[in-house]
Amino acid sequence: MMMSMIVKLLIYVHLWREGNKFDPLKQWVFCCKYDKILGAMKYWQMYKTFLQKHLAYRFRVGIWVFVDVIKFFCLPFVWLAIYQGRTEINGYTQTGMITYYLIMIFISLVTTSHISRIIRTDIMNGDLNNMVVKPMNYCLYRFTHETSYKLLSGFMALLIFFVAFYFLPQYVVMPANFVRLVFFVVALVFSLLLSFAFQFIVGMVAFWWGENSGAERLEEVLELAFSGAIAPLVFYPKLLQAVANFLPFKFLSYFPAQVYLGQIDYLGYWQGLAQVALWLSFFYVIVWQMWKRGIKKYEGFGL
């Protein structure tokens, strides 16, 4: 409502400044600008609608948050049992290691996308029909969906992190300085975009296979193995470390965790960002190509 009034006000101001003279070229240019504003507005409206929907099913959202937390729950205990009396293993102090898993929980709640199942359902049930006939970008539509959920789970993540910091200060370290924190947030944004790209690609597999649970599980397994979710990559055997460093999965979790814990210098950080930016460009080209080909193949069952 508020946004709509602002747009109307802009039109009046514009017409007043133009003296209400009819100029087709200027009118056209103005309409384009107006369309862009309206375009941005519709995604904002969607964002709010999705947020309301998530809040309506808050019990379900709460369970998902619980799952994301509990899946990392055992590992700090495992490492506490291993450390007993040792101050440092492979460059990780006991506190650093526990914080590492807290960051894994944080990343899981803030950036890990789970959109592939929804995309598969859209394709398999024919729900995509409703979306492709509307003047909107499906990828942005689902991105809006995902980020609206992430706003809620992100809030929970912050709460969990601060509760852990308050009650267990001996196990939690904060970033060394404000710049580190900003770098970490930037790394998280890249992690979110990368995770979303993976999930979008896996979801679109349903255009060809109908069912994508195999692809979904493969992505899940690769991510689990090479993102650093089970343990920091420095603990892996050398060969697996080399494979993990070659693949893009480490940018989902390991890279942001390293940035947070200050285990990467500024040069390494910028190199990492450049690498993930390249991976992102590559995967979004794949997204675009798969969408173009997939939508041609799509038969729209469920009409």
Partner 1 sequence: MSKYWKIYKICFANSVSYFTQYRKDFWFNLFINLLWIGIIALMIEIIFGQTSALGGWNKGEVYLLTMLWVVSNELFVMFFGGNLFDLSDMVAEGVIDFYLLKPVNSLFLVSTKYILFRAFYRLLGEIAILVYVFIHFNFIVSGSNIFLGVLLFIAGLIAQYAIILSLNTLSFWHMRIGNINDAIGAVAVIGRYPLNIFSRTIKFIVLTILPVTFFAYVPAAAVLDRWPWYGIVYVLIFSLVLFVSAVLFWEFALKKYSSASS
Q: Report the interface residues with partner 1, using CB under 8 A.
A: 57, 59-60, 63-64, 66-67, 70-71, 73-74, 77-78, 80-82, 89, 209, 211, 213-214, 217-218, 221, 224-225, 230-231, 235-237, 240
Q: Which is nearer to partner 1, 31 or 82 (CB)?
A: 82
Tokens standing for 295?
A: 């939508």
The dihedral formed by the CA atoms of 121, 66, 192 and 203, expressed in degrees to the nearest 10: -20
- Interatomic CA distance for residues 128 and 139, integer angstroms: 12
Q: How many CA atoms lie within 13 A of 224 on its CB side?
A: 8
Q: Which is nearer to partner 1, 5 or 81 (CB)?
A: 81
CB of 11 to partner 1, least distance (A): 42
Q: Which is nearer to partner 1, 16 or 167 (CB)?
A: 167
CB of 44 to partner 1, least distance (A): 26
Q: Which is nearer to partner 1, 77 or 301 (CB)?
A: 77
- What sign results for the dihedral spanned by CA atoms 81, 86, 89, 95? positive
CB of 57 to partner 1, least distance (A): 6
CB of 214 to partner 1, least distance (A): 4
- Total residue length of the chain: 303
- Interatomic CA distance for residues 139 and 207, integer angstroms: 15
Helices (H), the chain: 2-18, 24-56, 58-70, 74-83, 94-110, 116-124, 128-132, 138-167, 178-204, 206-209, 213-226, 238-246, 254-261, 266-297
CB of 104 to partner 1, least distance (A): 13
Q: Which is nearer to partner 1, 186 or 244 (CB)?
A: 244
